[in-house]
């Protein structure tokens, strides 16, 4: 990668107030192409708000958001999606009454500018079908091709949802707590799957589970009271005294005690 390549995602002095309360208080973050970043922090720190600002659900009060060097703050979520950023909303991205294959094909076609109402005419669209087939293999659901999403297991639904999220070819992927609700063994398998399917893409996750964070992330952004107090590799974040004091010491202690 050339050193002057733009960041995949950049936040510049980003701020968001609800009423008189400033929730995001001057966040700067530069994520390089291909990095996997976990956003962690205590409850109410502003992690979801940050995701909402990046994906266009909320406009910032001030500051800038850049995707691949282009300003996206103030744009609608669908415009940001077409510019190359895709966000999972847990399992709400998938259509329960469509099959695995049809869900993936919808995701592919959305990026190609088709409307869902054309679904029944699509069997001739070879490119979309081929891409959907490839995605199905990537998320290891090729044996469930014709199973309706509603009939998949929870972990399979989450895998499908990630397939739909990447179907449009976005190079920046946002995942909200991708392993929430999974067992330990499912979580371990799922981290592996996420790594595989997002290879070469930039990934941001909001995550509470320290096992997932340290298993998945190249870098960790620690958000406390609306500010990023550390943005570094897992080892450096773990050793950071300010992070220990503000958050991670208690989070790791909780995890060791059996919580998240």
Ligand X SMILES: Nc1ncnc2c1ncn2[C@@H]1O[C@H](COP(=O)(O)OP(=O)(O)OP(=O)(O)O)[C@@H](O)[C@H]1O
* Shortest CB 174 distance to ligand X, Å: 13
What's the closest the beta carbon of residue 48 comes to ligand X, in angstroms? 3
Using the rule CB under 6 A, is 72 a contact of ligand X? no
Site for ligand X in 26-55 (CB under 6 A): 41, 43-49
φ and ψ at 234, to 5 degrees? -55, -45
Q: Which is nearer to ligand X, 19 or 113 (CB)?
A: 19
Shorter beta-carbon distance to ligand X: residue 43 or 117: 43
DSSP label at 6?
A: P
Min CB(23)–ligand X separation in Å: 4
Nearer to ligand X, 48 or 61 (CB): 48
Write down the least CB distance from residue 172 to ligand X, Å: 19
- The distance of Cα 225 from the centroid of its chain, to the nearest Å, equals 21
> What minimum distance in Å lies between the beta carbon of 224 and ligand X?
9
Site for ligand X in 9-28 (CB under 6 A): 18, 23
Which tokens hold the place of 113?
């500018």
Nearer to ligand X, 40 or 166 (CB): 40
Sign of CA dihedral 78, 82, 83, 84: positive
- Read off φ and ψ for residue 40, nearest 5 degrees: -125, 165
Four-residue CA torsion sign, 123, 121, 151, 216: positive
CA distances from 152 to 96, 98, 162, 191, 249 (A): 9, 11, 14, 19, 38
Residue numbers at the binding site for ligand X (CB under 6 A): 18, 23, 41, 43-49
């Amino acid at each position: 990668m050339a050193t002057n390549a733009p960041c995949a995602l950049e936040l510049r002095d980003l701020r968001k107030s609800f009423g008189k309360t400033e929730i995001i208080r001057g966040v700067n973050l530069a994520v390089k192409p291909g990095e996997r970043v976990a956003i962690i922090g205590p409850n109410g720190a502003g992690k979801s708000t940050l995701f909402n600002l990046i994906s266009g659900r909320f406009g910032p009060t001030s500051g800038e958001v850049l995707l691949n060097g282009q300003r996206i703050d103030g744009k609608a979520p669908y415009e940001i999606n077409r510019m190359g950023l895709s966000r999972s909303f847990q399992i709400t991205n998938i259509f329960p009454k469509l099959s695995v294959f049809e869900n993936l094909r919808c995701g592919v076609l959305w990026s190609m500018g088709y409307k869902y109402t054309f679904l029944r005419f699509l069997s001739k669209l070879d490119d979309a079908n081929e891409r959907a087939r490839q995605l199905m293999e990537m998320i290891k659901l090729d044996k469930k091709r014709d199973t309706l999403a509603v009939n998949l297991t929870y972990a399979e639904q989450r895998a499908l949802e990630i397939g739909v999220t990447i179907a449009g070819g976005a190079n920046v992927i946002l995942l909200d707590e991708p392993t929430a609700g999974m067992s330990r063994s499912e979580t371990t398998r799922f981290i592996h799957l996420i790594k595989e399917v997002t290879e070469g893409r930039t990934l941001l996750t909001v995550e509470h589970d320290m096992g997932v964070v340290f298993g998945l992330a190249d870098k960790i952004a620690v958000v406390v009271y609306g500010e990023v107090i550390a943005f570094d590799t897992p080892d450096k974040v773990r050793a950071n005294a300010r992070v220990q004091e503000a958050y991670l010491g208690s989070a790791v202690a909780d995890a060791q005690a059996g919580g998240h």
